[in-house]
């Protein structure tokens, strides 16, 4: 009986990790989609950036290469590239915003592409573990 309970709990925990991965990715679908206005794009870019920054700050405070820690960071990097690519028509407005003080639209896209490339190994391991 005890063995059956352990097996059931193990299966449930595997399923919950998978659900976490899908739910986390799905939670950004509207935010990173093509936006109706430049203001919507800038607002959603800021939301996505803030979420990624929180994940990175938490990791920096306590470095951990576990899939549960790295998966959200990987999704964040990919989301940054996606939101920028999906909303390239608002490049001018982005370059006129406060975000451009750090980097232009094109530089920002390249920066996040580079981050995705640097994190490829960890991201692949995290995705494989959680999917």
pLDDT beneath 50: ranges in the chain: 3-20
Tokens of 39: 């203001």
Which residues lie below 8 Å from residue 102, measured CB to CB, with a gap of 6+?
108
Angstrom distance (rounded) from CA 129 to CA 20? 12
- Start-to-end Cα distance in the chain: 29
pTM of the model: 0.77
> How is the chain split into domains, by residue range?
19-130
Q: What is the pLDDT of residue 110?
A: 97
- Residue 90: count other Cβ atoms within 10 Å of its Cβ: 22
Tokens of 10: 């193990």
Q: What is the pLDDT of residue 4?
A: 43
Q: What is the pLDDT of residue 16?
A: 43
pLDDT, tens only, 9-28: 444 444 444 444 567 777 78
Q: What is the pLDDT of residue 20?
A: 43
């Amino acid at each position: 009986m005890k063995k059956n309970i352990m097996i059931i709990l193990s299966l449930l925990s595997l399923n919950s990790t998978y659900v976490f991965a899908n739910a986390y990715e799905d939670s950004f679908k509207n935010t990173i989609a093509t936006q109706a206005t430049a203001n919507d794009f800038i607002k959603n870019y800021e939301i996505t950036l803030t979420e990624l920054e929180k994940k990175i700050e938490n990791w920096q405070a306590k470095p951990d290469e576990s899939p549960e820690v790295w998966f959200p960071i990987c999704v964040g990097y990919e989301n940054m590239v996606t939101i920028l690519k999906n909303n390239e028509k608002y490049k001018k407005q982005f370059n006129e915003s406060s975000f451009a003080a750090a980097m232009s639209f094109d530089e920002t896209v390249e920066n996040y592409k580079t981050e995705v490339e640097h994190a490829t190994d960890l991201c692949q391991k995290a995705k494989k573990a959680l999917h």
